[in-house]
Structure 1
Amino acid sequence: MKKYVVALLLVAFTSVAMSQDILYGVRGALNVSNVDFDPDADFENKHRNGFAFAGFVDFSLSDNLSLLTELQWSAEGAEERNLRADYLKLPILLRFAISDDLLLGVGPQIALKTWEYEDAFSTFAFSGVAGLEYMITDELFLDARYYYGITNILEEDVTDVEAKNHVIQFGFGIKL
């Protein structure tokens, strides 16, 4: 069912933007991620540094508004080896140009787990995303994003503990 919803969203967003300007690009980022536990963890919960790599499509909706869809691989979790997982993520950001060089974006994200150290992670995770992008030139940009985990990333039949990913990304990209 989730696959159908994602496919439907992609088709809907693609058809809306077909008559508009479309930009493509690639992006790399440094991740600083952690897992927030409920109830609190009984161990020292440290962040994990990792990387993210992505390709994106940016659909211009008007002079100041665009819709960015990205396919991203991201290393997330916490420093503890058994709390590490990698994801294939699909953020969809509605972006507003604050100025000629600065954009603000917000939106949802679905993530598919591609690897985990221990088999206790859920297959899918949902997050909210917010970020700022600064255009260095017409093609090069720097950005910062915050991903706030909405769903439990741990399998409910494995543990009663609820855990959510929280990720800060510092990125660099190029529009092709």
Structure 2
Amino acid sequence: MKSLILTLLFVSITTLSFAQGTSYGVRGAFNISNLDFDPDATFDNQHRNGFAFGGFVDYGISDNFSILAELQYSAEGGKHETLKADYIQLPIMARFAIGNKFTFGAGPMLSLKTWADQDGFSTLTFSGVGGLEYMITDELFIDARVHYGLSNILDKDLTDVEAQNTTFQFGFGIKI
């Protein structure tokens, strides 16, 4: 056990020491999300407006490439009370700088449900995430992201219907 901890500590320190620049920060966002059902829903399926907030670490690999890992809370799903889905999410994005102000990123995202009274939903879902960030100053930024669900968010043991979550986020943040 000691050797495992020492190895992980060594790898972490080595990785951080080779990074071109590591930045930390916080981010908040406005969400517009919807559920896509297969077969199509037999009811009025309306989008849900929500919010997201969290913290991130951006590991600079080179001047134009970095890896961003974020831990965020996000209110998603549909507008109807039984379709609201709140998650703790872990997006990990490979990011490429486009000039001095813009950064494009894409990658996978894991989501863990946070609501206990909705047993018809899967506990863990997988999505793809992509986005564009604009630096207003050296610390402040705005961004736009899209999360596209790649896995069924409904429990397959309880229903034959499948649903994927699609979310658009319009965010702002600060690098510390």
- TM value normalised by structure 2: 0.90
**Which stretches in structure 2 are left out of the alignment for 5+ residues?**
1-9
| Matched AA of 2:86 | D
Partner of 1:26, secondary structure, is: strand
Question: Which moves more between the two structures, 12-21 or 146-155?
Answer: 12-21
Separation (CA, whole Å) in 2 of partners of 1:141 and 1:167: 20
Aligned match of 1:3: none
CA RMSD for the aligned pairs? 1.7
Question: Which moves more between the two structures, 113-122 or 162-171?
Answer: 113-122
Aligned match of 1:172: 172
| Matched AA of 2:174 | I
Aligned match of 2:137: 137
| Matched AA of 1:19 | F
Aligned match of 1:7: none
Cα distance change of structure 1 residues 64 and 14 upon mapping to structure 2, 3 Å threshold: farther
Query: After the TM superposition, which residues 89-100 of structure 1 pair with which residues of structure 2 at under 5 Å, given as runs?
Result: 89-100=89-100
Contact 1:83–1:117 (8 Å) recurs in 2: no
- Encode CA deviations 1:28-86: one digit per residue, 9 max, x unaligned: 00000000000000111110000000100000000100000000000010001100111
Query: After the TM superposition, which residues 92-171 of structure 1 pair with which residues of structure 2 at under 5 Å, given as runs?
Result: 92-115=92-115, 118-171=118-171
Cα distance change of structure 1 residues 116 and 146 upon mapping to structure 2, 3 Å threshold: farther
Q: CA deviation at 1:19?
A: 1.9
After superposing on structure 2, the runs of 4+ consecutive aligned residues of structure 1 that deviate more than 6 Å are 11-14
Separation (CA, whole Å) in 2 of partners of 1:110 and 1:24: 20
How many aligned positions are there?
166
Larger Rg: 2
Q: Percent identity?
A: 60
| Matched AA of 2:115 | W
- TM value normalised by structure 1: 0.90
| Matched AA of 2:153 | I
Separation (CA, whole Å) in 2 of partners of 1:47 and 1:175: 31
| Matched AA of 1:129 | V
